Amino acid sequence: MSTEYKSGIISLAEAYKDYFKIGAAVTVNDLQGEHGELLKKHFNSITAENAMKFGEIHPEEARYDFEKPDKMKEFALSNNMKMRGHTFVWHNQTSDWIFADKNGKEAPRELVLERLRQHVKVVCDRYKDVIYAWDVVNEAIEDKSGEQYRDTKWRRILGEDYIKTAFEVVKEIDNKSELIYNDYNNELPDKLEKSYDMLKGLLEKGTPIDGVGLQGHWNIRDKNLMENLRRAIESYGSLGLKLQVTELDVSMFEFEDRRTDLNEPTSEMLYLQEQTYENIFSIFREYKELVTSVTFWGISDKYTWKDNFPVFGRKDWPMLFDINGKPKGSFEKVVNYK
């Protein structure tokens, strides 16, 4: 990797110190080497990409796996960073044992609730020095039109009020972190409407929700993104909620685009990506009173989950740093805003 990032170039987190935290999703390998250096220089928040998901951190009822999250916590504390906690109640990457009784049948509500409480208590206590926000519930809204909620085991067992219950459980144990409802596509008009209704209803019932997470898995060709984003921030803000961008990446491909013939991004792609990053960060800055952090779902183009989604094994280049860790034109657009 070039040494440019070490020399004169400006730090992303530094450029945004008067606005919001700048985060990255990480694996333990990212804490060393080139990615470790980029993290120290440019970010002041990290999220475990997978290591704190229920199935990873608590694979069996009597066994937690703290090894990776502990390393992340140490890294964060020794580099003056904070962490986002991701995630408690989600339909994916969640251990099956939590929903089963000792005979392998579906566990009753009280048992699942007690297990959730225990889990939240153990995890919150262990990471309370470093966490500033929790994704309490992830992706509860159904994508199909006409249906409001995703049908999940959590909902089936804990009941229709399970989102409220989950926030109450976490609030009782951690009353200082920002408690977030996190989802994808929740800036698109249909899903925004469902999310808005859901959150309004939850707030009216006194649910302790502080903010909404916009995952921000976007792409360079979405012509409505700015308009949708602005509308979403204003709608959620009108409910008194804060916003966090929790999983930002700007893919070179639209979701429907399944081409696999590129070894590197075209100059048109790089140009559109620069425009997109410039525009979205200008909106984030404009709403700095509402936006409390912006987290990228990765660090550089060297490694991104987009390399396997939605097309397995197709390289994508969604981040601000290239495959060698060098700042791209998009990085320049994001930091040079004055």
Which residues in this chain contact ligand GLA in the complex, by CB under 6 A? 86, 138, 184, 215, 247, 305
Looking at beta carbons only, is 76 or 270 nearer to ligand GLA? 76
Looking at beta carbons only, is 138 or 235 nearer to ligand GLA? 138
Burial class (CB in 10 A: 0-12, 13-18, 19+), 194: buried
Is residue 104 left, alpha or beta, with left meaning phi > 0 and alpha meaning psi from -120 to 50? left
C-beta of residue 237 within 8 angstroms of C-beta of residue 290 = yes
Nearest one of 187, 195, 300 to 246, comparing CA atoms: 187
Q: Are strands 131-138 and 82-89 parallel, antiparallel or unpaired?
A: parallel
Enter the DSSP assignment of 11.
P
Q: What's the min distance (Å) between Cβ of 25 and ligand GLA? A: 8
Looking at beta carbons only, is 210 or 249 nearer to ligand GLA? 249
Active-site hit among 56, 139, 178, 187 = 139
How far, CA to CA in Å, does 220 sit from each of 155, 237, 261?
Answer: 35, 26, 18
- Please say if 139 is a catalytic residue: yes
Looking at beta carbons only, is 52 or 113 nearer to ligand GLA? 52
Enter the DSSP assignment of 305.
G
Q: How far apart are the first and last CA of the chain?
A: 28
Q: What's the min distance (Å) between Cβ of 52 and ligand GLA? A: 10
- Please say if 142 is a catalytic residue: no
Helix axes 109-127, 162-173, angle to 10 degrees: 40
**The dihedral of CA 148, 163, 60, 309: what is its sign?**
positive
Q: What's the min distance (Å) between Cβ of 309 and ligand GLA? A: 7
Q: What's the min distance (Å) between Cβ of 56 and ligand GLA? A: 10
Looking at beta carbons only, is 298 or 327 nearer to ligand GLA? 298
Q: What's the min distance (Å) between Cβ of 197 and ligand GLA? A: 22
- Indicate the residue whose CB is closest to ligand GLA: 305
Active-site hit among 56, 178, 187, 247 = 247
Give the C-alpha separation, 28 to 203, whole Å: 37
**Any idea which residues carry the catalytic annotation?**
139, 247
